[in-house]
Amino acid sequence: MKVSMQLNNLNDNDLTIDSCKGRICRNLSRIMDIKVVEVNVKERMISFIYENPKALLMVTDELRRIGYPVKKIIKITKAKLYNRIVNKQTGQIKQ
């Protein structure tokens, strides 16, 4: 599934954009069941693909821990990209 979230406490100053993106990507890369698609600091949005509901909870907990709590979940959709990644790993060409 793909989800987009709006976050609190993201600064859109030019000096902190890269540090916010880097901190979020670095910390979320430790969660194995997700793939970060986009971090948009100016819009205060993050999008990622996740495999199971537990991974979604782990992301919200980690974002809260590093100081960027989730304001609201914008959209959850079935992700075609995730299906392509899984099919590539299993050797199936089905899209």
pLDDT in tens, 13-41: 655 778 888 899 999 999 999 999 999 98
Q: Please give the average per-residue pLDDT across 73-89, as a whole number.
A: 61
| DSSP conformation class of 32 | T
Residue 95: its pLDDT value, please?
39
Paired tokens of 68: 């960027």
pLDDT-derived band at 42 (thresholds 50, 70, 90) equals: confident
Residue 34: its pLDDT value, please?
92
Domains, the chain, ordered by start: 2-90 (3.30.70.100)
